[in-house]
Structure 1
Amino acid sequence: MDFAYSPRTQEMRERLMAFMAEHVYPAEPRYAAEIAANTAAGKRWTPVPVIEELKPKARAAGLWNLFLPPSADGAHDTSGDYGAGLSNQEYAPLAEIMGAVPWASEVFNCSAPDTGNMEVLVRYGTAEHKKRWLEPLLRGEIRSAFAMTEPAVASSDATNIEARIERDGDHYVINGRKWWTSGAGDPRCKVLIFMGKTDPSAPRHSQQSMILVPMDAPGVKVLRPLTVMGYDDAPHGHMEVDFQNVRVPASDILLGEGRGFEIAQGRLGPGRIHHCMRTIGVAERALKLMCERAVSRVAFGKTIAQQTVTQERIAEARIMIEQARLLTLKAAWMMDMAGNKSAKAEIAMIKVVAPNMAQQVIDWAMQVFGGAGMSQDTPLAFFFTHVRTLRFADGPDEVHRNAIAKMELGRYQPPR
C-alpha cells in the first residue's frame, strides 16, 4: 500500500485549498449572517445566497463533481460535468479539505445525499433516468433526497422496512412513512430515491427495491423537519415524509425488483469514505482552533498551552486524527483495488472510528475555549452536533461493531 498522494491529487489539493482560502473561509461569517437573516424573515427553507454565488466559481475553477469515480468520467458526457474521474483514494484527501467547513461540499457539488444519489444513477440508472435526473444534478440545477429510514421500525436493520412498492400495471404504487430523509427540505429537491418492499415473501435480502419518486408526485407530503440538538439544518433538512398511494411509472424502478440491498451497498461504501474524510477535516479544524486558542489564552498565570492536561489532549488528538486518516485511506485503497466487498471490514471500522474520534477532539477544543466554545462565536458547537449525527447516519456504531466482530470471529470458526 502506498498512501503518498499522486501528482494529480497533489495538484487538486493545492487548487482546492487555494479556493477554500480565497472564497470559503472568508465567507463563513456571511453564511451565518444569511442563515440568521433567512430565519428572521421566515425563509428558513430557501437557498443560502453565498453558496449559490460560489458554485459557478468552483465550476469555472474545475473543482466540480470531484467525487465521481473513473468509471463515470466522461462516459456519456462532453461538458465536463462528470468531474475529474478520481478514485476513492484520490478523492479522499479532497473530501477532508472540504470537510473543514461543513457546508463547503455543496459549493463543489460534492455534498450528501446528492453524491450518493448521483452515483446510484450513474451505476444503475437507465438512459431516461440519467437524462431527466442525473444531468441536472451534475449541473447543480436541482437537488435530491434519500428515503430509507422509517420511524415505526428499527431501520438499522433495513430488512425491517415496512414501506411498500406494489406493481399496478404500468405503475408502482408507494405507501409508507419515512424520516431522516436527507435533503427533502430543500426547495430545489426534485427527486428522491425511495427504498421499500416489493415482495415480502421473497428471501430476506431480496424483498426490498429502490425507486425514483418525483417530489411533486401526488401523495408525497413533507410532514416536518427534524432537529438535531436544536439545529434543523435548513435549507437542506432532514424531513419526515409521508407517502400515500404515490404512483410512479414502472420504468422508475432502479435495476429491478429485489435489488435494493445491492444498490444500497454500492451507494453506501463510497459515501462512508466521503463522510469519514470530511469528519477528519472537521477534526483537523477543531485541533487548529484548539492550538491557536491554547497559545493565546492565559489562565492561572500561564497560557492554556502550558497546562499539562492541554498538552496531553493536543498530542492525543493528533495521534487519533492520524490513525483515523490512515485507516480511511486504507479502506479507500482496498475499494479501488478489489471492490467494496473486500473492504467491508475496513469500511465498517472507519465508520466507527472517524465520528468518535472527531467528537472527542471537538469536545477537547470546546474545553479550551471555555464558554465561548459553546456559543456562536466559534463553529465548535455546530461541529459537535454535526459529527454526533454521523454515529447514526449510514448505520449506528453498534451495527458496525457487530459486523466487525462477526468477521473477526469468523476467522476462528471450525470448518464445517
Structure 2
Amino acid sequence: MFVLKPIRDFSPLRLALVIFVLSIFWSGSACNRSAETTKVKTPHAASDGPSINENPNPHQTGNPAAGRDVFRFETFGNEGFWTDAARLPKGMLDAKFTPKQALEAGLQVDVEAIEPAMRKVMEAELKTDMSPQNAPMLNDPKAAVALINANAVVGVVPKDSNGDGKLDITAGDKVGISCTICHTITDKSVFDLPGGGSVGRRVDGPAALTLNVGKLLAMAANSRAFYPNLQQTFIGVSIGRAPSGLGPDSTEADVDAYLSNPQYYPVGTFDETQDGNGNPVKNTPLFRQDLAAPYGTAGEFSKLDDISNSSYTTNLDPTTLLTPEGRQFLEMKAGPAGKQMAGEYEKILKETGVTGYPFVRAELVGKAGDPASIVARRVDNQKLLDMNAYLDSLPAPAGAKVNEETAARGRELFRTSCTQCHNV
C-alpha cells in the first residue's frame, strides 16, 4: 500500500515549483477548453491521413547494420547507474527473480540468444502450467541469471565490467539498459503470456505495451535513485495519479509502493520527464522513423538523434542532473524549485552511498537546454546516426484484421471529425 507522506514544510522554492507546474497545467487546460469550443470553419478535404511521404524535419543517418547493434545493446556506460546507483541486479538477485516472473513483468525473451539445451527445456516447460513442479527451470532464479548473461532478456544488457572475457552478473559484471526494453517485442513464436511478455525472435520497433516498468524499477535495491522521474510533493501539492507524492525523506518502501501500483504507474508506460510530476506516458513504437517527427512528450525535439541522446543522458542516467550543466537545466525548467530538486536528489544519493556519478559516457558539448544536448552532453554521435538509419528502415507492422463495414464507418467518422488535427 502506498504510504501517504505528511505535508512538508513550506518554502519559497517549493512554492515556485508549484506555481510553475500549475501555470502549465492551467494554461494547457485553457487551451483545451478553447479548442473544444472553437467551431471548425475550414475542414480539410476528405482523406484517410497525411499524404506526405518524407519527414519535414529530416535527420542525418549512418549505417543501419551498425545501428541495429546500437539500438539493441548499446548503453553508453549507463550500467554504472543501473548497477551501482539503482542496484537493479542486486534487487533481482535478492528477490530471487525467475524467468516466469520476468514474463509476468512483461519482459521479452530472445529465443535465438538462448543456449540450445536450455532452449529445449524452456520450450517444453512453457507448454505446462509453469508451476514449480512442472516447470522447475522457469521458477529457478539461476535460470534468470543465465538468460541475462546470455543477452536473451531484451533491453537488459550485461557488460563484461571485470574484463575476464565472460558475462556473469554474479561475478562482478554490470547490467545496463538499452532502448529495446521499451521498443522491442518478439514474434511470439515460442510463447506469449497474455498481458505479459513473450518468447520468440526479436521484432524491433513495436512498443512494449505490456512491460511493467514500475514493477521492474521497484525491484531495484535503491529505487530512490530514480527520484527526478518520480511524482513528488511540494508544499502539500502533488500532480500525478497518486494521491500524494514522494520527497527526499521518503523511504525505499514508499518509493517501491508508488512504482508497484499500476494505478499510479500504469503498465506499458515510462515517466520520461524530470519535473516532479507523476507523468508516466505510453511506450511508443519506433518503426519508420524517417516519417516521424517531432519527438518528446511536448514535441520539443525535431530530430530523432536528439531525443535519443536525451534518453541516454538523462532518463537512463539521471545523475547527470547533478552536474553543473544538469543543475542549470533544472533551473531553466523550474527556476529556484529546480535548484531545490537537485539538492534533494543529491541528498538521496549521499544517503544511499552513490558516488562516482555521472556514469554515462558522453562528450561535454553545447549548452544546457539545447535540444541536441539538454544537459550539455552528447553520446557518440556516429552511433546515434547509425541508430537513426536502423530505425528509419524498420517496417511498419501489418494492420489488424477488422470488419470491413465497421472500418468503413470509422473511416467516415475520421474524415468528418478528426482531420482538422490529424491530417496534412
Band of TM-score, shorter chain: under 0.3
Give the structure-2-normalised TM-score: 0.24
Q: Which has the higher strand share?
A: 1
Q: Which has the higher helix share?
A: 1
Give the structure-1-normalised TM-score: 0.25
